[in-house]
Homo-oligomer: A and B are copies of this chain.
């Protein structure tokens, strides 16, 4: 069994040394190198191809999420583990949106840290529990507004689905083999039930962002 190759990008000496020591202590891992800033790793990015990259979000020369975005182009199969002292929503979601698949707070123990690398390599997404809750709440807010959906009939839901895709009335009519006027009537009823005056308001009410 081949060992898992790791790079570290961390500007603070204390953490860089700590992470390096942890990786070296684990026989299943091999440390390629530890870099102090974004540019020094970008300079050699096309010469290496790690399995795991551990990225500090607070680098001096570039936001961590920006670094991930760029490194992903060089290392499409690499898993990115963000390590941060911060749990602010912006940082967390920017990192995730740019391809981070794990997010640990720096309070993580050595055991959690090494387990996270294993999890990442096994297709998991390790997160500190505070981060996990934020992510969970994000998922919950992005789901359907059930109580509004219940007000609509089957046919109306079918039409709303097409409305939300941006189809025009005549396209919806063609899709469902209905007359243009019938579609309009249905949409009128939908808006009345949802207490809205436009397509966008209806969509926002049914599919909260």
| Residues of chain A having any CB pair with chain B under 8 Å | 69, 93, 96-99, 101, 119, 122-130, 132-133, 135-136, 138-140, 142-144, 146, 163-166, 168, 196, 198-201, 203-204, 207, 209
Chain B residues whose C-beta falls within 8 Å of the C-beta of A119 in the assembled complex: 129, 132
Q: Cβ of A124 and Cβ of B133 under 8 Å apart?
A: yes
Residue of B nearest to A146 (CB): B97
- Whether A140 contacts B200 by the Cβ 8 Å rule is no
Q: Which residue of B lies closest to A101 (CB)?
A: B136
> With A and B bound together, what is the CA distance between A158 and B199 in angstroms?
20
CB A138 to nearest CB in B, in angstroms, measures 6
Number of identical protomers: 2
A126: B residues at CB distance < 8 A: 129, 132
Cα separation A203 to B207 with both chains bound (whole Å): 13
28 cross-chain CB contacts under 8 A: A69-B146, A93-B139, A97-B139, A97-B143, A101-B136, A119-B129, A123-B129, A123-B130, A123-B133, A124-B128, A124-B133, A125-B129, A125-B132, A125-B133, A125-B135, A126-B129, A126-B132, A127-B127, A127-B136, A135-B139, A138-B139, A138-B142, A139-B139, A164-B204, A164-B209, A165-B200, A168-B198, A199-B199
Closest to A197 in B: B166
In the assembled complex, the CB of A131 is this many whole angstroms from the nearest CB of chain B, namely 9
B contact residues around A133 at 8 Å (CB): 101, 123-125
Contact of B198 with A166 in the complex, beta carbons under 8 Å:
yes
B135 touches A124 (CB 8 A): no
Given the complex, which residues of B lie within 8 Å of A144, measured CB to CB?
A: 97
Pair B130/A165 contact, Cβ less than 8 Å = no
A201:B166 contact, CB within 8 angstroms: yes
Q: A124-B130, A135-B135 are in contact. List 5 more A-B contacts (CB 8 A).
A: A93-B143, A127-B132, A164-B200, A166-B196, A166-B201
